[in-house]
Amino acid sequence: MDYDLRDVLDSVTAEAPPARLSADDAIAAGRSLQRRRRYGWTGGIAVVAALAVAGVMASPYLFDAADPDDAIAADAADTISAASAVDPAPATFPTLTAPFMYSIKGYSVGPLHVSDPVFATAAYQESIVTLDGVEKQKVTNSAGTWERSYDTSVGTVTVYRPGVFKPDKFSSGTPVRVRGLPGLQTEFEKQVFEMRVRDRKEFSSHTVKVPALAWQYADGAWATIVANQLLDTADPARDLLALADGLTPAAPTVARVPYRLGSAPAGYHLVGIGKFNPTNAGDSISEAYFSKRAVPVTNLTGRLTEDDLMPASGGGLKIIVTETAPAAPSDPNPHPNPRSPCQENFCDRAINAGYFAEVMDSRNRVDVVRKVTNGLVFDNPTDPTTWHDAGTIGLGR
């Protein structure tokens, strides 16, 4: 399958990997936004702020660091300095007894904010980091009559379960202490893409360094924060330490989903679930990955990529639930499309007037996708109290 480079540009701004991003990595990451490409470049929906192109050069906000004003930066420095002045004892985190569970909650350190968990695998849970002053992502429909805004991530917090993470990729970093426990602080290289528009589109890239931190939040239990180039504060390294210091436990909960499968596809098992994968756009209310292949749950040196969760080798499925953007009457490819609900490697299905589900297959098997899509039994997407725990979604009613 061919991938639109605009997808790649969106993807690679989302999170830095633990090593230099290759062209293959960028293309693979672009798969996560195929749904957005189908909207944006077939007329159904367009990314406004994140992909705005004005004159000759693309917006510097998209491809370079964000530019919070001096007052915000000063406030961050003052708040973080105060937060780092003491070294309290480690917090106590509850033991998780099943896969796909959350045990942390959102918190803030000055203008930096860690969200409630948005995604989980059997080995870890994740939140996004946002920063005051960074422009939100805006999405509009083809008619210009509908618009939504979503938080723009400046980094990802990944909290691993005890005994599953090895900080090998951080080993050359500087030793630090967080609440009395050891950690390692380093920088990773990230490839940032730029786009110039003259008579035609021209793409180029350059490499930047982004801060990263791995630390033990409990004995033998590690967490990481990996920033992207939008974390533009006076002292990003110190900021990550302050965020690590503020990691906040919560009562355990299981990730929930607004549907159940009519019948579980033979051989597939759930490997990741949440509101959205932190490296994606954040405009889904539910995102789940199923794989026929075993996914690592021990000896992890970093978070699992979308290719890990949805492998082409062996087979992988992805189910997204998102809000429906009303399409213009002239739009030939609305989503969902009642005239042609299945195309390429995906099928759309309306839940109600406001939401729809999309099912994708990593091996372009439309017959598999159609069967899964037709078998979905939906809850009320606007009422999470009707949703099901991750462990029950494979059971038909």
Structure confidence by residue, pLDDT tens digits, 93-144: 999 999 999 999 999 999 999 999 999 999 999 999 999 999 999 888 877 8
Neighbours of 190 (CB within 10 A): 22
pLDDT at 86: 56
Burial class (CB in 10 A: 0-12, 13-18, 19+), 307: middle
pLDDT at 309: 94
Residue 397 counted as domain residue: no
Return the minimum-mean-pLDDT range out of 55-64, 85-94, 162-171, 304-313: 55-64
Tokens standing for 223? Answer: 């967490």
DSSP string, 325-374: PPPPTT-SS-SS-SS--EETTEEEEESSSSEEEEEEETT--HHHHHHHHH
Residue 254 counted as domain residue: yes
Is pLDDT above 50 for 155?
A: yes
Residue 269 counted as domain residue: yes
pLDDT at 299: 96
> Rg of the chain's alpha carbons, rounded to an integer?
21
pLDDT average, residue stretch 344-368 = 89
Could you tell me which residue, 16 or 372, shows the higher pLDDT? 372
Neighbours of 352 (CB within 10 A): 11
Give the range of the structural domain holding residue 383, as residue numbers without chain letter.
Answer: 5-392
Q: How confident is the model at residue 343 (pLDDT cuts 50, 70, 90)?
A: confident
Look up tokens 């992207």; give the residue. Answer: 228
Q: Cα-flanking dihedrals φ and ψ of residue 82, to 5°? A: -65, -40
pLDDT at 392: 87
| Overall residue count recorded for the chain in this entry | 397
Residue 171 counted as domain residue: yes
Is pLDDT above 60 for 245?
A: yes
pLDDT at 87: 65
Mean pLDDT, the chain, as a whole number?
Answer: 80
172-211 pLDDT, tens digit each = 999 999 999 999 999 999 887 776 666 666 777 889 999 9
Helix (H, G, I), strand (E, B) or coil at 280: coil
Burial class (CB in 10 A: 0-12, 13-18, 19+), 249: middle
Tokens standing for 92? Answer: 């106590």
Helix (H, G, I), strand (E, B) or coil at 254: strand
Residue 227 counted as domain residue: yes
The helix or strand, by DSSP H or E, that contains position 115, with its residue range, turns out to be none
Tokens standing for 174? Answer: 């500087």
Distance of CA 117 to the CA centre of its chain: 11
What CA–CA distance (Å, rounded) separates 339 from 8? 29
pLDDT at 368: 86
Residue 55 counted as domain residue: yes
Task: Fill in the DSSP letter of residue 385.
Answer: G
pLDDT average, residue stretch 279-306 = 93
Q: How confident is the model at residue 313 (pLDDT cuts 50, 70, 90)?
A: confident
Instruction: Count structural domains, the chain.
Output: 1
The helix or strand, by DSSP H or E, that contains position 390, with its residue range, turns out to be none
pLDDT at 129: 98
Tokens standing for 59? Answer: 């917006």
Q: How confident is the model at residue 15 (pLDDT cuts 50, 70, 90)?
A: very low
Q: Name the region of 238 (left: φ>0; alpha: ψ -120 to 50; beta: rest).
A: alpha
Under a CB-based contact definition with an 8 Å cutoff, are residues 219 and 91 in contact? Answer: no
Under a CB-based contact definition with an 8 Å cutoff, are residues 33 and 124 in contact? Answer: no
Of the candidates 292, 377, 298, 358, the one whose C-alpha atom is nearest the C-alpha of residue 121 is 298
Residue 283 counted as domain residue: yes
Tokens standing for 388? Answer: 């099901």
Angle between helices 5-12 and 23-30 (to 10 degrees): 100
CA distances from 147 to 26, 274, 355, 356, 357 (A): 28, 23, 15, 17, 19
pLDDT at 25: 38
